[in-house]
Amino acid sequence: MDQFWNTLQADWPLIIDKTLEHLYLSAVSVLIACLVAIPAGVLLTRFKRLANGVITVVSVIQTIPSLALFGFMIPLVGIGAKPAIIALTLYALLPIVQNTFVGISEVNPALTEAGVGMGMTRWQVLRMVQLPIARSVIMAGVRLVTVQTISMATIATYIAAGGLGDIITRGITMINTITIFEGAVPVSLLVILVNLLLLALNRALTPKGLRGQRKING
Amino acid sequence: MGEAAVEFRGVSKRYGTGYVFEELALTIPRARIVCIIGPSGCGKTTLLKLINRLIEPEAGEILVEGRPIGRQNPVELRRNIGYVIQQIGLFPHMTIEDNITVVPRLKGESRKRLDHRVDELLSLIGLAPDQFRKRYPHELSGGQQQRIGVARALAANPSIILMDEPFSALDPISRVQLQKELIKLNEQVKKTIVFVTHDIDEALKIADRIVLLKDGKLVQDDAPEDLLKRPANAFVREFLGTERFAANFEI
């Protein structure tokens, strides 16, 4: 037990450092993924014939083993944070594209037609009707992706991107369980905290009229 | 000119190979409740959607307030025509207040200045403003929701309101109630109401004029009493219900 506390005390600044690095890698990836995938999902609802094709292509990315995808980045963009962020972003695309597409497609057509019939432009229908109603479905995709990205960012250590994976691999090399814990526990805590945060955010953003009342929209 | 709120001139519309309308001519008078009625598939909803350009005709011209709509911006046109649809046309994520003020807000009016308008409209449809403005559609009964739908159509003060089977999903008691209210309401607001229904009793009750369609053809366009007194042909007689004529003759 003493040994545990001593190691923890000594490694404390490092753990904080690596946690921040980890958070940075994950947050930037998820953010970029959202910026790409949400508009893409919206666009696919306008061109439904493309949807199946695009979603298939994006799901193929998910079949590449994560370790290998990080490896493929090296000849393309080298090592460090940049290739890691690109790989993590690619992985994050599918759930967000899919949920955006499904969420918006599921909005009752009678409601969008009511909007158009009252004189909304397509953009206004999207902003005032479709996105607010689809938001919790889209947010569910973002939440899934966030959890996935935080766990996967652990592997980014293999291409020298830093993060809590650094501590875990060091622990593995030294066959030191305490060190492995020092890397693994913060990852789990990050996942839980961020997940709760996003849940709360979604709840706060969801208008009262939609809470537990999906019936009315469809 | 002058008299007609909406005028169809030689309007044709087809889906696939068959015509819905062929060379349809129809005049809808101002400040009246006009019911468009006919068996399902007769094109009554299509006719309604032609007026606010949700559907475009292949040929012919439609005039709203004497102006051909083909040359107007559809978005602008729709903001100046009220629209009430069957069942749930209300936006579930917006409060009653926000639902009612959608069109004025689209037209650029600020929400604050619409407070008074919301009160006025809610009172007009018989719902207490303080009690209802902040509520959400799912907290209201079907009849109340449909009243809000009517209030929303009135919000921007259009002279024409299109209604597509607005009361068809309601229970019989609320339906009759809303029909009565609509008649009374229009005595006050004097709008041109184009009302699509498949229910002949509803049409006879509320309409100043009934337009009867069959397979996209105009069969008869008359006041309800004239329709009963002088049905144009056997189809009209049958559609109105033959027993109704028997009863009339007895009187």
What per-residue confidence (pLDDT) applies to A208? 76
Distance in Å, alpha carbon of A84 to nearest chain B alpha carbon? 39
The answer to whether the Cβ–Cβ distance between A124 and B106 falls below 8 Å is yes
Contact flag B136-A128 (C-beta cutoff 8 Å): no
B198, B25 contact by CB (below 8 A): no
- CB contact at 8 A, A135 and A78: no
Q: Do A118 and B93 touch (CB under 8 A)?
A: no
Q: What is the DSSP string of chain B?
A: --SEEEEEEEEEEEETTEEEEEEEEEEEETTSEEEEE-STTSSHHHHHHHHTTSS--SEEEEEETTEEGGGS-HHHHHHTEEEE-SS--S-TTS-HHHHHTHHHHHTT--SGGGHHHHHHHHHHTT--HHHHTT--GGGS-HHHHHHHHHHHHHTT--SEEEEESTTTTS-HHHHHHHHHHHHHHHHHH--EEEEEES-HHHHHHH-SEEEEEETTEEEEEE-HHHHHHS-SSHHHHHHH-HHHHHHHHH-
Chain B residues closer than 8 Å to A210 by CB: 92-93
Please give the pLDDT value at position A213. Answer: 52
Query: Which fold would CATH assign to domain A8-217?
Result: MetI-like fold (1.10.3720)
A209 vs chain B: nearest CA distance in angstroms? 5
CA distance A203 to A10: 40
What is the pLDDT at residue A215?
44
Question: Between chains, do B136 and A208 touch, taking CB under 8 Å as contact?
Answer: yes
Is the ipTM of this structure higher than 0.90?
Answer: no
Question: What is the β-pairing status of strands B217-222 and B209-214?
Answer: antiparallel
Domain layout of chain A by residue ranges: 8-217
Size of chain A, expressed as the number of residues it contains: 218
- Whether A119 sits inside 8 A of B92 (CB atoms) is no
Determine which of A106, A107, A118, A215 to mutate to test the interface with B (most B C-beta atoms within 10 Å).
A118
Structural domains for chain B: 1-70+199-251 (3.40.50.300)
A117 with B52: Cβ contact below 8 A: yes
Below-50 pLDDT ranges, chain B:
1, 250-251
Residue A96 to chain B, least CA–CA distance (Å): 22
One pLDDT digit (tens) per residue for chain A, 218 residues: 788 888 888 889 999 999 999 999 999 999 999 999 999 999 999 998 999 999 999 999 889 999 999 999 999 999 999 999 999 999 999 999 999 999 999 999 999 999 999 999 999 999 999 999 999 999 999 999 999 999 999 999 999 999 999 999 999 999 999 999 999 999 999 999 999 999 999 888 887 777 755 444 33
**One-letter amino acid of A103:** G
Contacts of B137 in chain A (CB under 8 A): 209, 216
What pLDDT is stored for residue A212 in this prediction?
Answer: 57
Q: What is the pLDDT of residues B78-137, one digit of tens each?
A: 999 999 987 668 999 999 999 999 999 999 988 888 999 999 999 989 899 999 999 999
Q: Do B106 and A207 touch (CB under 8 A)?
A: no
Amino acid A216: pLDDT: 41
Tell me which DSSP letter residue A79 carries.
Answer: S
A-to-B residue pairs, Cβ atoms closer than 8 angstroms: 76
Q: What whole-number distance in Å separates Cα of residue A71 and Cα of residue A69?
A: 5
Q: Would you state the structure tokens that stand for residue A182, as one six-digit string?
A: 């020092």
Chain A interface, mutation test: which of B91, B103, B132, B136, most A Cβ atoms within 10 Å?
A: B91
Q: What are the structure tokens assigned to A46, written together?
A: 């306008």
- What are the tens digits of pLDDT across the range B121-131? 999 898 999 99
Least CB-CB distance to B78: which of A111, A117, A210? A117
